[in-house]
Amino acid sequence: MFTRLTSLGPFYPPWVELIVNTVRYVPQLTDDQHHIVWNLLTEFADVFALSTREVKQVDFVKFRLSIPPDAGFSKKVHQCLLTQPQ
């Protein structure tokens, strides 16, 4: 069920229920802890994707490496040992 990016939105009740039921809860959780986790999952249902097809690229995040222009890098590929050290 892919409704996250449709007009139904990420908080479409059957979609939220599917997310809540997909999560595996450890048996060590108390009832209060289970309720807290359930509330967090329903509150932030728009953060979760049930498939990688729902994950879209964003254009508002930029990542830059501040590398000096005169920096040098090793271009030699180191060979992996094929035999055990003797």
- Whether 43 is covered by a domain: the verdict is yes
> Could you report the per-residue pLDDT of 34-82, keeping only the tens digit for each?
999 999 988 988 888 777 777 777 777 777 788 888 888 888 887 877 7
Which whole-number Å values give the CA distances from 9 to 1, 2, 45, 52, 83, in the listed order?
12, 10, 10, 17, 56
Q: Which amino acid is at 72?
A: G
Residue 56 falls inside a structural domain? yes
Q: What is the pTM of this model?
A: 0.53
Q: Which range of residues forms the domain containing residue 57?
A: 1-64
For residue 58, being part of any structural domain is answered with: yes
Domain count, the chain: 1
